[in-house]
Amino acid sequence: MTESLTALLSGLCKTDEDREILAALEAVVEDFQPEGEIATFENGMEFEFNSPEGDVPRHPDVPASFHAISKVFGAVWWDGGGPEVGWALDDDGEPEADGWLFDEMRAEEPDEFAKIEAAGKVTASFMGGQNGLFFDPTRKLANGEPAMAFISHEGGGWEPVESVNDLDYGQILLRMISDAMIETDYIPEIYF
């Protein structure tokens, strides 16, 4: 059983910077209930999670480091100002994120989005609240996996999320949690 936030999130850490981010989160956790699967912070922000439930198959459209989060969580989510933000995989190993914004933007900007689709399959990644987060087939992270892109529900176009280019998806999720829970700004290109 996970007894602390640090024990829960340590599987997302690869570097000293990751461990510093985790220590900053742990320093302001007000209540951590592993049996209730919720973490609450001093500022009132909270996230809920499910423990891993066994092996989830890796879908071919999902980067290895994104799938590896399934060893840490069955799912993790928080309020995104309406729809939830977070990470989850379905029983087939596909992200439980919604790609509707890509479809909407394709209709509004067909030439730009045809270029993106020509580079490879576009798959929604993290749950983005009212916004969309995607694996970007036009760019790669430093580890060779597809990079990340953001689409705002407010009519924004396809925005490369370059601040995470040197990270893997577990490290990206750790920074998303920090940005949401304690208002850091590790990934300034995205908002919820």
In a domain, 15, yes or no: yes
In a domain, 192, yes or no: no
In a domain, 188, yes or no: no
Residues of the chain with pLDDT under 70: 1-2
Q: What is the pLDDT of residue 47?
A: 96
Could you read off the pLDDT of 69-112 as tens digits, one per residue? 999 999 999 998 778 999 999 999 999 998 888 888 888 888 98
Q: What is the pLDDT of residue 3?
A: 76
In a domain, 187, yes or no: no
In a domain, 55, yes or no: yes
Q: What is the pLDDT of residue 122?
A: 93
Model-level pTM?
A: 0.95
Q: What is the pLDDT of residue 2?
A: 55
Question: How many percent of the chain have pLDDT more than 90?
Answer: 79
Residue 191: count of CB within 10 angstroms of its CB: 16
In a domain, 100, yes or no: yes
In a domain, 75, yes or no: yes
State the CATH number of the domain containing residue 33. 3.40.1580
Q: What is the pLDDT of residue 154?
A: 84
Q: Which domain holds residue 135?
A: 5-182
Count structural domains, the chain.
Answer: 1
In a domain, 191, yes or no: no
DSSP class per residue in the chain: ---SHHHHHGGG--SHHHHHHHHHHHHTEEEEETTTTEEEETTS-EEEEE---SPPPPPTTS-HHHHGGGGT-SEEEEE-SSSEEEEEB-TTS-B----HHHHHHHHHSHHHHHHHHHHS--EE-SEETTSEEEEEEEEE-TTSSEEEEEE-TTT---EE-GGGTTS-HHHHHHHHHHHHHH---S-TT---
Q: Decide: 143 and 168 in contact? Cβ < 8 Å.
A: yes
